Amino acid sequence: MSKDTLKLHLTDFDGPLELLLHLIKEAQMDIYDINIKDITDQYFQYLQQMEQMQLEIAGSFFVMAANLMRIKSQWLLAEEIDDGEPEEDPREDLVNQLLEYRRYQKAAHTLQQREQHRQRIYSVPAVQSTTDVEIEPNEFEVASLVGTWQRIWQRQRRTAVGPVNQIEEWQFSIPTQAARIVTRLNQKGNRRLAFSELYAPTAGLEEVVTDFLALLTLVKRQLVRVTQPVGRNEIMIEGDNARDEH
């Protein structure tokens, strides 16, 4: 295997099994009859390259390296002793593991094709709903919160002044921001407030994050309810009993 190929694939491997399958394929070996010495050499060469490029190598790669060394030594030992007695092939477990892994790799490929086909179907968001979102156990409320958060932050980033990578002392506290949210809610006749109304379009990451955390705290303490009308990105805050508590 040339250095270029190695480089090309350096970061492509998610785990040692995937890497091993790749090396076996590259070397055109029979998976049922792996040349354990060659494959071990190649594997170590690969790890070395990763180290030279100062990439972080996951522990599982080292575990596999140790496993390969063990198989190799057993293999050599068996050759040396060779008393004609049939013995267990030291490669057997590894081969079975590789075969099993390859089954799922193939299945993953099939699923990926299905997903690509599915993405050729377009659909529209739901009409804006005025009723609360029903969150059922099997649904994805976290995903929608995360999505909302990303949109909020993207919007902030577009309008924010100054560099966002500048680190300053944290100026906002969760209790203060929570109290502010409650006050703002109480100022509203209908006790409903959109999350984005809480801060100015130029607010920094720090303020938005703190507001978001404060909101989560209030939800946890059941002082406010949060809804997200279907199809809208906005989080609506409702404070039915907020006034009594504060």
Judged by CB under 8 A, the residue of 2, 52, 54, 123 near other proteins is 123
Structure tokens at 124: 């529209």
| 117 sits near other proteins (criterion: CB under 8 A) | yes
Question: What six digits make up the tokens of 88?
Answer: 């267990």
Do 23 and 42 meet the contact criterion of CB atoms below 8 Å apart? yes
- CA separation for the pair 13, 3 (Å, rounded): 16
Closest CB 200 distance from other proteins, rounded Å: 29
Cα separation, 92 vs 219, whole angstroms: 54
Q: Could you tell me the smallest distance in angstroms from the CB atom of residue 202 to other proteins?
A: 27
**Under rule CB under 8 A, how many of the chain's residues touch other proteins?**
62
Regarding 112 and contact with other proteins (CB under 8 A), the answer is yes
Which is nearer to other proteins, 115 or 244 (by Cβ)? Answer: 115
Q: How far is the CB of 74 from other proteins (least distance, A)?
A: 11
22 backbone dihedrals φ, ψ, rounded to 5°: -65, -45
Q: What's the first-to-final CA gap in the chain, in angstroms?
A: 70
C-beta neighbour count of 20 within 10 angstroms: 24
DSSP E strands in 3-153: the ranges are none
- For the record, the structure tokens of 236 come out as 């609506």
Task: Map the footprint of other proteins across residues 43-102, applying CB under 8 A.
Answer: 58-60, 64, 72, 75-76, 78-79, 82, 86, 89, 91-92, 97, 99-101
| Nearest-approach distance from CB 123 to other proteins, in angstroms | 3
Binding site for other proteins (CB under 8 A): 14-18, 30, 32-33, 35-38, 58-60, 64, 72, 75-76, 78-79, 82, 86, 89, 91-92, 97, 99-101, 103-108, 110-112, 114-127, 137-140, 142-143, 146, 230-231
